[in-house]
Structures are given as C-alpha cells and as structure tokens.
Amino acid sequence: MRLAEMTYWQAEAYFQEHDTVLLTIGCLESHGSHNVLGVDTMIPEKLLTMIEARTEVVAAPGIPYGVCEDMTSFSGTVSLGEDCMYHLLTRITDGLLAHGAKKILFLNGHGGNIPTLNRVCIELSRKGALGVQLNWWIMAGQLNPAWAGGHGGGEETAGMLAVNPDLVHFDRLREQELINDLGADFPTDGFDRVTFGGIGIPVPRDVTRYTTNGWIGPDHPKDATVEWGEEMLTAVADYIAAFVEAFEKVKVE
C-alpha cells in the first residue's frame, strides 16, 4: 500500500492497527558508462512493487536523491549532502511518528546514504522508535555470495536488467579504467581506497580522479543477465517481506 494513494482516514485506520512504514531511498549518480543514473532509486522501487504483492506494509513516498558528494563531477549526478539528507529524513520520520509509526524500514539503494541513516536510526531509538536499514545489495550478497558485487558491476547491472533491459546500454560498456592518481606506490583499489604494503587505505577524494566512468568493483557487468537479476530481486523481495511480517510483531515501548 502506498501512503500517497491513501486518504487521511485510511491512513488513520492503518496506524491504529500497524506501526510500520517502509521508505525507499536512492541516489542519482553515475554507475558506469552502460548504466543510467537512477540505478540506486529504480532497483529499490522495483523491490517495493514486489514487496507490495507479498505484504500489506504501507510505503511512504520514496526519496530519489542521496549523498554522493564524491560523484558530482559526473554529469547528471545530484547530491543532497549529509546535512540536507539528515534534516529531510528527520522531518519525514518525525511526521510519521506523530501519526503512530514506531518502526521505519529504510529500503536503501545507495551505500553513501548509510552514515546518515545510522545517525537517523540512533535518534529514532532515542525517540522511542526503531529505524531499520534494508540495504538490498548487501542482503543479495548474503543470500547468495555469487551475487555480491561492486558499484555499477554485475550485481547492479543484473538488477537493472530485471527493472528494464532497455536502460542498460551494453553497447557503451567500458572497462573500469582505474587510474593510479596517487602514483604507482599507491594503486587505486576501490572506492576512496588505495593499497600500500598489501593493506587498503581510505583516501576520500573525487571519484573522477581514479576512474573515468563510475564502475568500480570485482564483478564484470558483461556477466549480468536478466535471469540473474530476476532471481536475485525475487529472493531479496521474499526475504524483506518475511522480515517485515516478523518485525511487525516487535513491540516498541
């Protein structure tokens, strides 16, 4: 059920019987030359549609933007920033709490949102509520290690193939094209990280300094298939639906 499609009296009736709300959060950023900017928003929205067929939890209107300051050099990328995201989530969750919600489930599609979500969840607990992070790509890798991947790689590309194959441009696919911008002694080893002496060291900086297209990870997009994406998203949707059903029974005092 979508909160935006309910009347006030339907919402009132829901919150008299339930205290759980699902909220999708995404991002608008580069995911390689082959993927569209909305990967982090579209996959959670696809999952939400699947979850709706499995449970009666109410979903508040989602947030299509996220925190991605290091990606804004790629054309089309828009970042809310941590402060804006924090205040936005606080106002939204405070509004939901005022009407009877006590458990907010964040269906998240973007790793850069996690630090802000952590802060919001801690503050929710201090308000007598609970915040839950459902990071779909992490759950997918735990459900099946073969699905685990990086940014814009096979995992996310497979997810997008399940959303809409027309939005994956394999004809424009390029390799990772990682750049050792700090020199040969500090090779780039992933997001905000270089390697020295066999140990990964975080060095946060603009992503375009060390990759030309935004795909960063061990899983190759060319291995992605529609079948992989559909099986993966079905498994994640099944898991989240089961979690929601069980978590609704948790009493929040």
Q: What is the pLDDT of residue 143?
A: 98
Read off the pLDDT of residues 109-131 as tens digits, 9 standing for 90 and up.
Answer: 999 999 999 999 999 999 999 99
Residue at 195 is within a domain = no
CATH of the domain at 14: 3.40.50.10310
Task: Examine residue 196 and state whether it is found in any structural domain, yes or no.
Answer: no
Q: Confirm whether 192 is domain-assigned.
A: no
- pLDDT of amino acid 191: 86
Residue pair 165/226 in contact (Cβ under 8 Å)? The answer is yes
Q: What is the rounded radius of gyration, in angstroms, for the C-alpha atoms of the chain?
A: 19
Q: Is residue 186 part of a domain?
A: no
Q: What pLDDT is recorded for position 10?
A: 97
Does 30 reside within a domain?
yes
117, two tokens: 């979500």
d(CA 117, CA 25): 10
What tens digit of pLDDT does each residue of 62-101 get? 999 999 999 999 999 999 999 999 999 999 999 999 999 9
In a domain, 252, yes or no: no
Q: Is residue 182 part of a domain?
A: no
Separation between Cα atoms, residue 249 and residue 230, nearest integer Å: 29
Domain that holds residue 126: 3-177+212-247
Tell me whether residue 233 is in a domain. yes
Q: What is the pLDDT of residue 109?
A: 98
Residue 219: pLDDT above 90? yes
- Mean pLDDT taken over the chain: 96
Residue range 21-39: average pLDDT?
Answer: 97
3-state secondary structure at position 102: coil
Structurally, how many domains does the chain consist of? 1
